Structure formats: structure tokens, C-alpha cells
């Protein structure tokens, strides 16, 4: 029996979080579900996200290119009915470019609640926009 090992880096966890969030919002807007398949092969995690009734290219192509070009060890590809996220590499075999390392260190050091507003914060901001305190 062959065992595969995947050792995630902080960049992997951020990419996975963003991809699930992005695809979840696309699926919710289309009123459909997401099918998820996880596979580890040669130290690479493959996350296949099937989205029915969603124009994947229109909804996710720009996002996939952004992830692939900005995050190290991350490939995000779109197909006609799915998004494929490939998370690979580790610091022992492939060194991070210093700029990528600094950016990821900064990203991971910010508390999660400051990266993405919660609904309470968002609702409060929307309500505050409607008020006109200086009339």
C-alpha cells in the first residue's frame, strides 16, 4: 500500500480558503452545490471542485489566474465544469522567492478577522453608510 503525504504551507491554507470561498459564492449565486474531491499524489494536493449550473470561466477564470500567478506552490485551473487547485512544493525542496515569503508572512500574521469582514461587521458598515450624521 502506497501512502501519500501532503505537508501544507501557510500559503496553501490561504489558497484553499480563498478558493472554497470564491467557488462557494459562485455556487450560492447559481443556487447549486459544490462537489469536492481531494487527492494527494507525489506530495501534491489536488482539490477538484465541481460546480453545476455555473459558468466557470466567467465566474472563476480571473480568480484562478490571480492565484496561480501570485501565490507560490499554487496552480489554479478552470475547466468547463470545475476548478482544479493544485498545492505543491515545500520549503525543504523549493525555496520561496524572498518577495513571496515576505508577502505570505505578512498575510499569515494578520488576524483572520481583519482579512475578511464578518457579517456583523459588514452589516454594521452597511447600516452606518445609510446614516447621515453631518446633515
Per-residue pLDDT tens for 97-124?
A: 676 667 667 766 766 565 554 444 444 4
The three three-digit cell numbers of residue 23, written as one number: 467557488
The three three-digit cell numbers of residue 93, written as one number: 525542496
Instruction: State residue 120's pLDDT score.
Output: 46
Is the Cα dihedral 117, 71, 46, 41 positive or negative?
A: negative
The pTM (predicted TM-score) of the whole model is: 0.65
Instruction: State residue 132's pLDDT score.
Output: 43
Confidence of residue 47 (pLDDT cuts 50, 70, 90): very high
Domain ranges of the chain: 10-129
Confidence of residue 13 (pLDDT cuts 50, 70, 90): confident
Output the CA torsion 65→29→81→87 (10° steps).
Answer: 40
Summary mean pLDDT of the chain: 76
Amino acid at each position: 500500500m502506497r501512502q501519500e503525504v501532503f505537508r501544507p504551507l501557510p500559503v496553501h491554507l490561504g489558497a484553499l480558503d480563498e478558493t472554497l470561498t470564491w467557488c462557494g459564492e459562485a455556487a450560492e449565486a447559481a443556487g447549486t452545490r459544490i462537489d469536492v474531491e481531494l487527492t494527494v499524489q507525489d506530495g501534491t494536493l489536488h482539490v477538484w471542485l465541481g460546480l453545476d449550473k455555473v459558468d466557470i470561466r466567467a465566474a472563476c477564470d480571473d480568480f484562478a489566474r490571480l492565484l496561480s500567478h501570485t501565490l507560490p506552490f499554487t496552480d489554479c485551473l478552470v475547466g468547463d465544469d470545475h476548478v482544479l487547485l493544485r498545492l505543491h512544493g515545500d520549503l525543504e525542496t523549493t525555496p520561496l522567492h524572498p518577495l513571496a515569503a515576505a508577502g505570505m508572512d505578512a498575510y499569515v500574521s494578520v488576524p483572520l478577522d481583519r482579512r475578511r469582514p464578518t457579517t456583523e461587521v459588514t452589516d454594521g458598515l452597511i447600516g452606518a453608510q445609510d446614516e447621515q450624521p453631518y446633515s
